[in-house]
Amino acid sequence: MTCIIIDDEPLAIKLLESYASKIEDLQVVGRFNNALEALKILREQTVDILFLDIQMPEITGIEFKKIINPDIKVIFTTAYSEYALESYDLNAIDYLLKPITFQRFLQALEKVTQKKQIVQEIKPTTDYFFVKTEYRHQKLFFSDILFLKGLSDYVAIQTKEGKVLTLQNMKDFEKDLPKDRFIRVHKSYIVALEHIDYIERNRIVINKEYIPISATYKETFWNIIDNK
């Protein structure tokens, strides 16, 4: 699992890093003293766990949780107990009160593991998912999605009914969407195989939209198409 630590106290970051170093399958891929500085890495790569301080300058941990990918497992860290109720309303995995002991750190990680197991058990039986867009979680059916297009700060999900914008990143979608129904064909595109109208040279046409097939994904794409 990968994690990021966000805290405006250097000693707090150091403590959590020391705890994480003792866990064999946990890797710290970023540490920041300002939440906004972490946005770039959260958009570019998949992160499993976020250790997030609540009281920080510019944007609080509570505010930051509301704008990031809801699939990231957030463990709040704070010296103030009064935020506990609000953090659980935001579906945080745990709430660690400073000073944090190694035992509580391990308990929080165990909750992450339990949550992942529940999601893995439920996920194959569903034909829809929820995506965070603006101030709501939008329900989308896999069968309604035509393609996804990565923009500079957003991913645009093109459905039969229109376009849905989200801050979630392409790597997360590539990992989570059903592999038998969706395939990445370009750094900026994931397409729904069932909605491909036709393929012309190195371009896919879906609902009159021309989508390029890049050299990076070309071989994998044609292998799948040839087996259909």
Name the pLDDT band for 125 (thresholds 50, 70, 90): low
Q: Please tell me the predicted confidence (pLDDT) of residue 71.
A: 80
Residue 108's contacts (CB-CB under 8 Å, 6 or more residues apart) are: 75, 93, 94, 96
Same domain, 46 and 92: yes
* Alpha-carbon gap, residue 210 to 201, rounded angstroms: 11
Q: Please tell me the predicted confidence (pLDDT) of residue 88.
A: 67
Q: Is the predicted pLDDT of residue 121 greater than 70, yes or no? A: no
155: number of Cβ within 10 Å: 22
19-70 per-position pLDDT tens digit: 999 999 999 999 999 999 898 888 878 889 999 999 998 899 999 998 888 8
133-151 per-position pLDDT tens digit: 888 899 999 999 999 999 9
Same domain, 99 and 147: no
Average pLDDT over residues 57-85: 86
Q: Please tell me the predicted confidence (pLDDT) of residue 58.
A: 86
Residue type, 164: V
152-200 per-position pLDDT tens digit: 889 999 999 999 999 888 988 998 899 889 999 999 999 999 999 999 9
pLDDT, mean over the chain: 89
Same domain, 150 and 176: yes
Same domain, 72 and 170: no
86-118 per-position pLDDT tens digit: 776 778 899 999 999 999 999 999 998 887 665
Residue at which a domain ends, from 101, 123, 145: 123
| Structural domain span for residue 213 | 128-226
Name the pLDDT band for 80 (thresholds 50, 70, 90): confident
Q: Please tell me the predicted confidence (pLDDT) of residue 117.
A: 63
**How many independent structural domains does the chain possess?**
2
Residue at which a domain ends, from 107, 123, 139: 123
Same domain, 25 and 87: yes
Residue at which a domain ends, from 123, 151, 175: 123
* Alpha-carbon gap, residue 192 to 171, rounded angstroms: 16
Same domain, 116 and 196: no
Same domain, 187 and 93: no
Tell me, what CATH number does 105's domain have?
A: 3.40.50.2300
Same domain, 115 and 164: no
Positive or negative: CA dihedral 52, 96, 129, 203:
positive
H helical segments located in the chain: 10-20, 39-44, 61-65, 84-89, 102-122, 170-176, 215-226
Q: Is the predicted pLDDT of residue 205 greater than 90, yes or no? A: yes
Same domain, 97 and 15: yes
Q: Please tell me the predicted confidence (pLDDT) of residue 70.
A: 80
Same domain, 95 and 208: no
Q: Please tell me the predicted confidence (pLDDT) of residue 81.
A: 80
Q: Please tell me the predicted confidence (pLDDT) of residue 166.
A: 94
Same domain, 116 and 6: yes
Q: Please tell me the predicted confidence (pLDDT) of residue 122.
A: 44
Same domain, 71 and 135: no
